[in-house]
Chain A
Amino acid sequence: MSGRLAVELAGLRLKNPLLAASGTFGYGVEYERLMDLSTLGGIVSKGLYLEPRDGCDVPRIVETPSGLLNAIGLQGVGVRAYVRDVLPRLERHDTAVVVNVCGDTVEEYAEVTRILEDAPRVDAIEINISCPNVKKGGMAFGGDPKMTHEVVAAVRRVTRRPVVPKLSPNVADIALFARVCEEAGASAVSCVNTLLGMVVDVEQRRPRLAFGTGGLSGPAIRPIAVRMAWQAARAVSVPVIGIGGIMCAEDALEFLIVGCRAVQVGTANFVDPGVYERINAGLLSYLDRHGLAGIGDVVGTLAYPGETK
């Protein structure tokens, strides 16, 4: 992979700007037989709590036009099993490892982060304050500026690693939340998690998902996500990682152009695990076509109507 795609992000050097988004790539090791994990800039783990979690009842997923509505409910192995069983297997892969940290309480977020602090191989902490499919924590924290500040500050206090809160799009003013995170010590922000949605079975007259509502992802949400990433990038000086329906190089470029330093690819993993190689190739060919030296030259180059750059 050419160094032209390398990006610097909150002290991390990623070989390319593509990270696998939390919840769409398992713990990473599930894909090691299917693809070369070193084609990724980084892997963001599925959300981890202190203890294993069962997740939601079924059905958990329903397809929508150009999208996927899910309520998985953060089923997972818990942070200790992750440190013991998963992290050693990631040693042999040349890619950044970002761990997505969850909690029912502020203390739990801090405790999960503390356990990871002693583990090698972790490059950064992503804070999940935006999952719409849990009763406590998640979006309940990410929808309240005061709680957002409290969680981010608590995690910041217990780790030396970069701290990256993942913002919820289910708020009126994403710029406000980005600023709150920056003030609380965030090294970067991920923008955005899924949009709260619902699909109704009209014959049964009940939601199709057992949980009721769910989180919408995929190309269906991309224009909203691009707008929010743009607003966040204008509001803060820390890097923004764009997320939302990226399927190809052009989609990734939209986020980079509006000011994101890197992007996460999520639901596209389900449709085609080969998506990373395609996007990287597309980014390189874009750089060639536009006579640009590196991918950093694209970041924040949006010519917005009525504004001078």
Chain B
Amino acid sequence: MPANLDAPLVAREALPGPYALLTFAHAAVAREARAGQFVMIKAHTAPEPFLRRPFSIMAVDPGRGTFTLFLKGVGPGSRALIDMRVGETAGCLGPLGKPFEAPPPGAEALLVAGGYGVAPFYMFGEELRAQRRPFHLFYGGRTAPDLPLEEILIEGGYPLALSTDDGSRGTPGRVTVPLEAYLGAEGRQAVLYACGPDAMLHAVARVAQARGLAAQVSLDPWMGCGVGTCLGCVVKIQRPSDARPKWRPACTEGPVFDARDVVWS
């Protein structure tokens, strides 16, 4: 069950550029979280911005009772978290939302990450490895500095394909370029998983659709509460059982959705 706790920052690792890894003590998240789930979190040290922010969980350590976030300091909420010092606390509710579901036996998991959307795939890779499921991680960014987790993923032995829009690292072009090359012309048995900007998610959904593959996408709309009550984060979803599209809260019915059900805007 999710728990609402004051979570102390226990470790902080600055990465090149605006990125950092933050590790918080939070027993419920550490024990129960699955890849794709998120926390609502806000540094107590900064009264503004007003709301907590949703962040995907990158890793958990049930033994130590901690979890780790991979953050990019893009706005006041993420920067306030990155500026925390070890020992300071953040208000933190989690784990929340629906996780990624492992592929059926015989199918390979292809994880497609855009920029800091790579965060949940670190954890998903660990889960898949524990279940002895084959997977491959496609990690794309605009430029080489937008791939700050490269080293950590290589050290961790993740099967990795890098790409950048400007060609400064890995395959030149969008992350779907190495993905399509990997899929090849043959009908490969695979499930696609995507986390990143909306346009990238949509592109991955089209790749899946064209090849008749299943895809799970992690949507990232603005969230107010994280528990399904404010209805601020709704996304348009039409499941096979729905007569017409419905606004569904991404926080409780997602953030991971079957790509076929998403009504792309």
Contact = CB atoms under 8 A, between A and B. Distances in A.
Given A66-B50, A68-B224, A24 B230 contact: yes
Q: Which among A58, A59, A274 has the highest number of chain B CB atoms within 10 Å?
A: A58
A75 B229 contact: no
A174 B224 CA distance: 29
B91 A272 contact: yes
Interface of B: 1-4, 42, 48-52, 91, 93, 221-222, 224-235, 246-247, 252
Contacts of B48: 65-66
B232 A72 contact: yes
Interface string A268-294: 011111100000000000000000000
B91 A61 contact: no
| Overall SS of chain A's interface | loop
Nearest to B42: A271
A272 B231 CA distance: 16
B252 to A, nearest CB: 8
Contacts of A67: 50
Contacts, number: 89
A131 B2 CA distance: 31
A256 B104 CA distance: 58
Q: Which among B1, B3, B4, B229 has the highest number of chain A CB atoms within 10 Å?
A: B229
B98 to A, nearest CB: 15
A141 interface: no
Interface string A206-232: 000000000000110000000000000
27 contacts: A24-B225, A25-B229, A26-B228, A26-B229, A30-B252, A31-B229, A33-B2, A34-B1, A54-B246, A58-B221, A60-B231, A61-B233, A62-B222, A63-B49, A66-B48, A66-B50, A67-B50, A70-B224, A72-B232, A218-B50, A219-B50, A269-B229, A270-B225, A270-B226, A270-B230, A271-B42, A271-B51
A31 B231 CA distance: 14
Nearest to A268: B50
Contacts of A58: 221, 234-235, 247
A70 B226 CA distance: 15
A55 interface: yes
Nearest to A52: B246
Nearest to B93: A273
A271 B92 CA distance: 10
Nearest to B2: A34
B88 to A, nearest CB: 16
B180 to A, nearest CB: 30
Given A68-B224, A75-B247, A270 B51 contact: yes
Contacts of A218: 50
A35 interface: yes
A67 B50 CA distance: 7
Interface residues on A, range: 20 to 34
Given A34-B4, A54-B247, A61-B222, A271 B52 contact: yes
Given A24-B225, A34-B1, 17 more contacts: A24-B229, A30-B229, A31-B227, A33-B2, A34-B93, A46-B229, A54-B247, A58-B234, A61-B230, A63-B49, A68-B51, A269-B229, A270-B224, A270-B226, A272-B52, A272-B91, A273-B93
Contacts of B50: 63-68, 218-219, 271
Contacts of B233: 61
A60 B232 contact: yes
A191 B70 CA distance: 42
Contacts of A66: 48, 50
A150 B171 CA distance: 68
Interface in A219-260: 219
What are the 4 closest A-B residue pairs judged by CB atoms, nearest first? Answer: A61-B232, A26-B229, A270-B225, A270-B224
A308 to B, nearest CB: 38
Q: Which among A46, A61, A218 has the highest number of chain B CB atoms within 10 Å?
A: A61
B20 to A, nearest CB: 22
Nearest to B228: A30
Nearest to A33: B1
